[in-house]
Amino acid sequence: MTIEAASCDILDAFWKKGREFLGTRYSIMGGAMSWVSEHHLVSAISNAGGFGVIASGAMPAELLDKEIAATREMTDKNFGVNLITMHPQLDSLIDVCIERKISHAILAGGIPTGQSIKRLKDAGIKVMCFAPALVLAKKMIRAGADALIIEGTEAGGHIGPVATNVLVQEIIPHVSDVPVFVAGGIGSGAMMAAFLEMGAAGCQLGTRFVCATECIAHPNFKKAFINANARDAVPTVQIDARFPVIPVRAIANEGTRRFMTFQLETIEKYRRGEIELKDAQMAIEHFWGGALRRAVIEGDVENGSLMAGQSVGLVKDERPTQDIIDTLVNEAAVALRRTRDVLA
């Protein structure tokens, strides 16, 4: 599929701010998905005109350094690095980004410190932060964030409690000094167009790119996405408030069912005095350790974690990244032209 010049023209009026910030042809970001968003997929998204993002996840600094180098061997286009603020080696990861002269860093997984933002900005790196509420959006801007990402609960992986369309209404009308990118549940160009019309500078998609040809995810993992419906991607359930469970949206499988049973068994052991509270909490917290890798890399889709957003129901096939992005752009342009024609 090719992109018509007219498609780019009508979209440029809406996502010019996002394109200029990212330094890309299209204001489409790839979501950072651990084990999935590595150099093959990241470079493919950037080469296709989007903005690929390396998911550093739990990587040590040495591995991130190699991942950045491998990405640069496959693309000369802009891409970013997603850094988890709670990573014990965050400072070392920031060092790598600075040494490698990364253009953009995305701070995720918690509220970043002003020091982390300053270190990156002082090195000439553009900093993007997540904002799950208007008060935090304003706080991130005051701390120096160059752009914001607002991600709704429809997204895959670790999620917040508020839907994307509500966050957009809450935040975008009150933020004008930095670009705001929207994520969570986006699986079509028409949806992208709707958020652009509401003032977004661009959109971030993760789930749709799992079934890109260039993605290294195991065939079983991709097949699970293609076969899933939107209602299959559900958040993990917390049974007892004394035993916290961080909500993660994933496709339900045998692993999610066993997790429920495991929680009940562990809580019962605590009630009988067979295990201390802290040990029980730790056991529940560590249940999913390594589960994402088992699913993505090893293909164990029954017991591994199938992190996916609700837009998984819109993923019907495996396609080259370029085709996915071209389709999104054309769909968005069609939607915007339809609006223009109605107004005319």
* Cα distance between residue 181 and residue 203, in whole Å: 5
Q: What is the pLDDT of residues 56-104, one digit of tens each?
A: 999 999 999 999 999 999 999 999 999 999 999 999 999 999 999 999 9
At 237, is the secondary structure helix, strand, or coil?
coil
Read off the pLDDT of each residue in 10-16 and give the average, rounded to a whole number.
94
The Cα 129–Cα 148 span in angstroms is: 5
pLDDT on residue 93: 98
The per-residue pLDDT for 9 is: 85
On average, the pLDDT of the chain sits at 96
Report CA 121 to chain centroid distance, whole Å.
22
Q: Residue 126's beta-bridge partner residues? A: 104
pLDDT at 317 over 70: yes
Question: What does the pLDDT read at residue 249?
Answer: 97
Angle 25-13-177 from CA coordinates, rounded to 5°: 90
10: which 2 tokens?
């009508």
φ/ψ of 35, rounded to 5, equals 70, -15
Whether the pLDDT of residue 6 is over 90: the answer is no
Domains of the chain by start residue, with CATH: 5-217+315-343 (3.20.20.70), 229-307 (no CATH)
Percent of the chain clearing pLDDT 70 (strictly above): 98
pLDDT tier, 15 (very low <50, low <70, confident <90, very high otherwise): very high
Q: Are 6 and 332 in contact (CB under 8 A)?
A: no
151-164 per-position pLDDT tens digit? 999 999 999 999 99
3-state DSSP percent of the chain in helix, strand and coil, to 5: 50, 15, 35
- Candidates 331, 334, 307; CA nearest to 250 is 307
In this predicted structure, what is the pLDDT of residue 4? 61
Dist. CA 21–CA 130, nearest whole Å: 16
Residue 97 burial (CB count, 10 A): 25
Band (pLDDT 50/70/90 cuts) for residue 341 is: confident
Task: Give the pLDDT score at 344.
Answer: 78
pLDDT at 1: 57
Tens of pLDDT, residue by residue over 237-258, are 999 999 999 899 999 999 999 9
| List of residues 6+ apart from 233 with CB closer than 8 A | 156, 249, 250, 251, 252, 308, 309, 310, 312, 313
Q: How far apart are the first and last CA of the chain?
A: 29
Question: If pLDDT is split at 50, 70 and 90, which confidence band does 3 have?
Answer: low
**Which residue type sits at 344?**
A
Cα dihedral: 325, 331, 335, 340 (round 10)? 80
Give the residues across from 105 on adjacent strands.
Answer: 81, 127
Given a cut of 90, is residue 2 above it in pLDDT?
Answer: no
Cα 302 to Cα 212, 308, 318: the distances in Å are 22, 14, 21
pLDDT band, residue 5 (cuts 50/70/90): low
Residues in the chain: 344
Q: Is 206 helix (H, G, I), strand (E, B) or coil?
A: coil
Percent of the chain with pLDDT over 90: 94
CB 292 within 8 A of CB 35: yes
The secondary structure of 263-332 as a DSSP string is: HHHHHHHHHTTSS-HHHHHHHHHTTTTTHHHHHHTT--TTTS--B--GGGGG--S-B-HHHHHHHHHHHH
Task: Compute and round to an integer the Cα radius of gyration of the chain.
Answer: 20
